[in-house]
Amino acid sequence: MRRLLYLLILYALSCPLTMAQKAGGTKQYQLFGVGFYNLENLFDTVHDVGKRDQEYLPDGANKWGSVKYNHKLHNMSRALADMATDRLPNIGCAAIGVSEVENANALTDLINQPRLKQRNMQFFHIEGRDRRGVDCALIYNPALFHLKQGSLHPYVPELEKDSTYATRGFLVVQGQIAGEDVAIIVCHWPSRRTGSFYRESAGRQVRHIKDSLINDNPELKVFVMGDMNDDPQDRSMARELRARRDISEMRPKDMYNPWWKILDNGDGTLSYQGRWNLFDQIALSPKLLNLDGQKDFSSLKFFKAEIQRLPYLLQSEGPYKGTPKRTHAGGIWLDGFSDHLPVVVYLVKEKPEKPATPETPETPAAPTETTQNP
């Protein structure tokens, strides 16, 4: 019976106007998307004092004027608005973590693009210490994600020689999805150029932040997302964050990393020298999972993880066909999107059953969307 119920849930979620049947009655399921996207240098055209943003100025190396900036805003808003719409048409994601955005000014311009403004998308951002001036932020739909509070935890150098090292911190945003407490930790871990130690350090620091949040609220559901600059099997993720490949391997303070198996199957979010990597990941705390073979969706639970391979995000011809279409490549403006692809995890929760009224005691429910309508 449990397997039959699970298959019916899968079918219902793939068909927005289909009901899932359960012995003893009819069940409807809400579906939510939570995503992440590296926006690849979303800079405005104005110099930020103290930041190394000179290449993204009108007289800089990239000749970053209003035309290129407005095209970049349009392209990014299109991709963000389309995330998760294959399963959630006209709704998209409840929340999307983003990286490589310069400041609140760029974020304000982004959410004022027509497709995001139509959904009343908002953002949460705190200016960080990164020397280039790129930050993390959370863009969210207030009809689906209720913001409660947020904070920025700075990256803490663990080596004496790095006492002045300034890089992206860890943005912690707390709120509610479907009436349940969640925390989203948005990350952009140190570059591959710095060596594995610095990303391992980031993994340790984020694990401590996550553990502290759960100690304060044991029912909290935590997402750790971002451009980790490492693959799922690398030490920063597998050992330091303790993000496991299989749910069956998890211990109480571990996380689940669904992207590990996706990379094992040869799929990724960025391509380098003909090889796919999967640096863009969303790890999930135990409260978001059905453990021990359960299929209980009475509270918000993980359903599926997908890379968003929207055709327009990919090169359509040439030697790099099928790889992400960047903003610039080889010093040439491509009017593209990002060198990374976005990712989404889908979550499921049963809708509360409505008791039959005396007027219509035997009338079956009509087909209705299985997703929450914002």
Cα–Cα–Cα angle for 250, 256, 260, rounded to 5 degrees: 115
Q: At residue 158, does pLDDT exceed 90?
A: yes
More confident residue, 367 or 34: 34
For a pLDDT cut of 90, what percent of the chain falls above it? 82
Distance, C-alpha 286 to centroid of its chain: 18
Query: Exposed, middle or buried: residue 139 (CB in 10 Å: 0-12, 13-18, 19+)?
Result: buried
Q: Give the pLDDT of residue 27.
A: 81
More confident residue, 106 or 292: 106
Answer for the pair 189, 236: CB distance below 8 angstroms, yes or no: yes
CA distance 361 to 211: 48
Which range among 269-283, 295-309, 343-357 shows the weakest confidence by mean pLDDT?
343-357
Q: What average pLDDT does the segment 214-226 reach?
A: 98
Q: What average pLDDT does the segment 129-146 reach?
A: 97
Q: At residue 14, does pLDDT exceed 60?
A: no
Q: Give the pLDDT of residue 25.
A: 60
Q: At residue 369, does pLDDT exceed 50?
A: no
Total residues belonging to the chain: 374
CA distance 232 to 249: 15
Answer for the pair 48, 103: CB distance below 8 angstroms, yes or no: yes
